[in-house]
Amino acid sequence: MPYRSTEILSPGPADKTALHTIALAHDKRHLRRKLLHLDNDDVVMLDLKEAVMLADGDLLVLDTGDYVRIAAIDEPLYDIRPRDPLHLIELAWHLGNRHLAAEIRLDRILVLRDPVIKAMLEGLGAAVSEVTEPFQPMRGAYHGGGGHSHGHGGHHHAHD
């Protein structure tokens, strides 16, 4: 019989010991209801009231009172380094204008590898290198789920 989880501790307290870890890519951590398979072939039925973006280190609280830790897997990324803080803001704007998932930090931005985006960033003066590490992109204004659409100067994007 599968475990059930309807609660998440986010971020997971360090004093809580997890029985297992579930490692997921960033695009597999936006969940509401899903069967998650543990490494020992047990199953956890995640059943949340609304969709959430699970972060590295979050804990699923099982119906038994035990915990399962969420781990972000290493993904192929670009590490984008700006000239200065204002340049970082400009680069983030260009990436956001293209609706790219991005992890924005004080000194760098991480995005999934795409040679076209790399060329654009280098053309804008960024230093871009390839890295492989966990990816925790920023949540967008519409991350709560559901479809929406909005316009961009005469053209429209639908997001479902």
What is the model's pLDDT at position 144?
46
For 37-65, b/e burial (b = at least 16 CB within 10 A) is eeeeeeebbbebeeebbbbbbbbbbbeee
Window from 31-35, 76-80, 117-121, 152-156 with minimum mean pLDDT: 152-156
Domain of 122, CATH number, reads 3.30.70.790
> pLDDT tens digits, residue range 66-94?
999 999 999 999 999 999 999 999 999 99
Contacts of 16 (CB under 8 A, 6+ apart): 9, 59, 67
The average confidence (pLDDT) of the chain is: 87
> pLDDT tens digits, residue range 102-115?
999 999 999 999 99
Whether residues 54 and 80 share a domain: the answer is no
Residue 102 · residue 138 · CB < 8 Å: yes
The yes-or-no verdict on residue 147 having pLDDT over 50 is no
pTM, 2 dp: 0.78
Contacts of 133 (CB under 8 A, 6+ apart): 74, 75, 77, 110
Whether residues 13 and 66 share a domain: the answer is yes
Output the six-digit token pair for 158.
């639908």
Residue range(s) defining the domain that contains residue 91: 74-134
What is the model's pLDDT at position 131?
98
Whether residues 121 and 62 share a domain: the answer is no
The yes-or-no verdict on residue 138 having pLDDT over 90 is no
Place of tokens 């204004």: 141
Question: What's the residue count for the chain?
Answer: 160
The yes-or-no verdict on residue 160 having pLDDT over 80 is no
